[in-house]
Amino acid sequence: MTVLAGAFDPPTRAHLTLAHAVLRAGAGAFLFSLAVRTIDKEASAVAGVAPRLDMLGALAARRRHVGVVVCNRGLYVDQAQALGDLGFRRPRFAIGIDKVPQLFDARYYRDRDAALRRLFELASFLVVPRGGAGAEELARFMALPAQRDYLGVIEMLPLTAREEQAMRDVSSTHVRALLAQHGKWQPLVPREIWNLVQRSGAYQGVLD
């Protein structure tokens, strides 16, 4: 099972494309994990948890092998433990390649090495290319002394050219800016949640 943790404020076509790419690559199931508390984004959520959960639920309801879970912890090690308690043993977290340095950053741990050892006992990671960075950049980063011991639990998700195109320059931040400016945001958001995005009333007139 592969898990994408995030704020989904709001969910975008990139999130949905990633779910399809993970399932295409052989995952048995894909979960959107809506974090009540997201590391480095604690004060930036625009829409409340309930409307974002409604949006994710609408996406999952129409797709096989796609589900939604809500968590109240920001660290992956805590989420992996909670998922394990629910019976989801050794989940694989999907993360953008730009988030990989954060995963290994000692600032987020009291004891980095102990926490990482525990994390990688509980979970593995699937890295998603982003912004032109891919397998070569990941290999260089993981070859650094501080990361060498963890090569076996980090792998790259191969994307098709169509998937790369669908995800390029699509982000929740961009969607929020377009909504605030009354721009054309719809092409960046799955059609089935357009009404939920508008009905939430959270994004009009709000800029990052």
Segments making up each domain of the chain, as ranges: 2-200
- Region 54-82 average pLDDT: 91
Q: 69 pairs with which residues across the strands? A: 33
101-106 long-range contacts (CB < 8 A, ≥24 apart) are 101/141, 102/39, 102/40, 103/76, 104/146, 104/147, 104/150
Q: Which residue has the tokens 């939920």?
A: 196
**How much is the pTM?**
0.89
Report whether 43 contacts 177 (CB < 8 A): no
What is the reported pLDDT for 207?
47
Is residue 184 scored above 50 in pLDDT? yes
User: Which is nearest to 105 in space by CA: 45, 39, 43, 37?
Assistant: 39
Instruction: Give me the architecture of the 2-200 domain, per CATH.
Output: 3-Layer(aba) Sandwich (3.40)
Say which range, 74-78, 82-86, 92-96, 138-142, has the weakest mean pLDDT. Answer: 74-78
**pLDDT, tens only, 112-150:** 999 899 999 999 999 999 888 899 999 999 999 999 989
177-184 long-range contacts (CB < 8 A, ≥24 apart) are 177/207, 177/208, 179/203, 179/204, 179/206, 180/204, 180/205, 180/206, 180/207, 181/207
